[in-house]
Amino acid sequence: MSHIPHILIVDDHKEIRESVKRFLEKSGMRASVAKDARDAETMLGAGHFDLIVLDVMMPGEDGLSFCTRISKQIDIPIIMLTALGEDTDRIVGLEIGADDYLAKPFNPRELLARIKAVLRRAPQIEKHAGTLAGQKLRFAHLILDVDGQILTDQSGNQERLTTAEFKLLTVLIQRARMVLSRDQLLDLTVGKSAGPLDRTIDNQISRLRRKIEVDVLRPKIITTVRNGGYCLSVDVEVLA
């Protein structure tokens, strides 16, 4: 299945963010909305997005400040939206990390064209290992060699992870002790939404548990949270 771009629309005007969301979805993309910077940061921490459409003028932290801060944390393209059309505002937006700039009011088709153009030129970087690349991580009785995708237990026994298992484990490690729903895990690992009968994550969790749990019937590392999802319920240590 080909990857469907997931766009995060951040705008304090409900009508704008909802209308853009509907248009992008009709155009074959996935779209989620956030009403402000705080809401957007929460969503970025719990899901995978390919691009942010970000309004400049928002209550609380404004778009320029959020763009500056988030660009230092993650590698994700950003298109700025603003009611200000001055060249100086456009230049400031581009200088602080935005990939493109569109003044309000705008034609949704032009926004779609710009999104496609930015996605085409954006580097396709593998995001699952992210900043973990080159590291060895200890959790519970195991050490994960990120580059080799190999688990080593206290006795020195090694287990190589499949690509799917590795992606799932690194997502959980990067969000240790955070409860993630099946939808969130599927979004973060595969980049798609779960159907009503989709058991992909449950099956992957089951396979991964067989490689990391001492007692698969009583899991202590990846725990199930009723009506919530799954959680890596141990601390993670980066080895020197």
165 within 8 A of 211, measured Cβ to Cβ = yes
Give the strands of the sheet with 100-103, arranged side by side: 30-34, 6-10, 51-55, 78-82, 100-103
Task: Tokens for 104, please give them.
Answer: 């309000």
Instruction: Write the class of the CATH domain 161-238.
Output: mainly alpha
Q: What is the pLDDT along the chain (240 residues), one digit of tens a residue?
A: 457 899 999 999 999 999 999 999 999 999 999 999 999 999 888 778 889 999 988 999 998 899 888 877 777 889 988 876 555 666 666 667 788 888 888 999 999 999 998 888 765 444 445 567 788 999 999 999 998 889 999 999 998 888 778 889 999 998 999 999 888 888 887 666 666 666 788 888 998 999 999 999 999 999 999 888 999 999 999 986
Strands 136-139 and 78-82: unpaired
Predicted pLDDT at 126: 44
- Residues of each domain in the chain carrying CATH 1.10.10.10: 161-238
Sign of the C-alpha dihedral computed for residues 11, 82, 95 and 8 taken in this order: positive
44 within 8 A of 178, measured Cβ to Cβ = no
Q: Give the HSE-up count for residue 83: Cα atoms under 13 Å, Cβ half-sphere.
A: 6
Strand partners, 87: none
- Residues of each domain in the chain carrying CATH 3.40.50.2300: 6-121
- 105's CB contacts (< 8 A; 6+ apart) are none
In angstroms, the CA 198 to CA 204 distance is 12
Predicted pLDDT at 1: 43
Task: Tokens for 200, please give them.
Answer: 């992909």
Domain covering 6-121, topology: Rossmann fold (3.40.50)
In angstroms, the CA 106 to CA 194 distance is 32
102 within 8 A of 110, measured Cβ to Cβ = yes
- 130's CB contacts (< 8 A; 6+ apart) are 170, 174
Predicted pLDDT at 152: 95
